[in-house]
Structure 1
């Protein structure tokens, strides 16, 4: 596993922890124990962010990179739209006044 994978896994675990704490808070209320857990989770999140910033090669984008989708220049098959009207242009085959 690479460093990037390990940091991503740690981030996911922190996200899971936040969700679990939210569920606990719904059941037991927001007492001092839950606030302490939330505070600890926040510190872990900050520490992980600092680790990402200071570790060479560990800079990760906040959002996952998306795969580039190539759209061909060839025209689409006109039969795909044979059963629809041209939106905003009226009914096919009729003239506007």
Structure 2
């Protein structure tokens, strides 16, 4: 998985959630409910940060390898190339 993208998206969403919770706390005032949801948002952010730190270790433990963007695969035939195809090509200093 492309962890950088997923973590960036999570941070954006948590930032949006934090702004919403701040607006609700301003509207309803300081109460146990608003403090609880504010703490929950902070805990989620800390948990995501911890997961980001541990992502490589978790991937290795589960046999996952980070995915990289790979271009289109091109099949290379096992058959010999026509010698005329390479006729006018220099060996580039390599002689066999």
TM-score normalised to the size of structure 1?
Answer: 0.54
Looking at both structures, which has the greater relative contact order when contacts are Cα pairs under 8 Å and sequence separation is at least 6? 2
Equivalence for 1:46: 46
Could you tell me which residue of structure 2 aligns to residue 18 of structure 1?
18
Task: Specify the SS of the correspondent of 2:56.
Answer: coil
How far apart, in 1, do the equivalents of 2:3 and 2:56 lie?
A: 10
**TM-aligned CA deviation for residue 8 of structure 1:** 0.6
Aligned residue pairs: how many? Answer: 57
1:50 Cα deviation (Å)? 0.4
In structure 2, stretches of 5+ residues that fail to align are 58-96
Alpha-carbon distance in 2 for matches of 1:26, 1:56: 39
Hey, what's the Cα distance between the residues in 1 that align with 2:3 and 2:46? Answer: 18
Which structure is larger by alpha-carbon Rg, 1 or 2?
A: 2
Q: Mark the runs of 5 or more structure 1 residues left unpaired by the alignment.
A: 58-97
Deviation beyond 3 Å, 4+ runs, structure 1: none
In the other structure, the counterpart of 1:32 is 32
Question: Which structure has greater helix proportion?
Answer: 2
Q: What corresponds to 2:6 in structure 1?
A: 6
TM-score calculated relative to the size of structure 2: 0.55
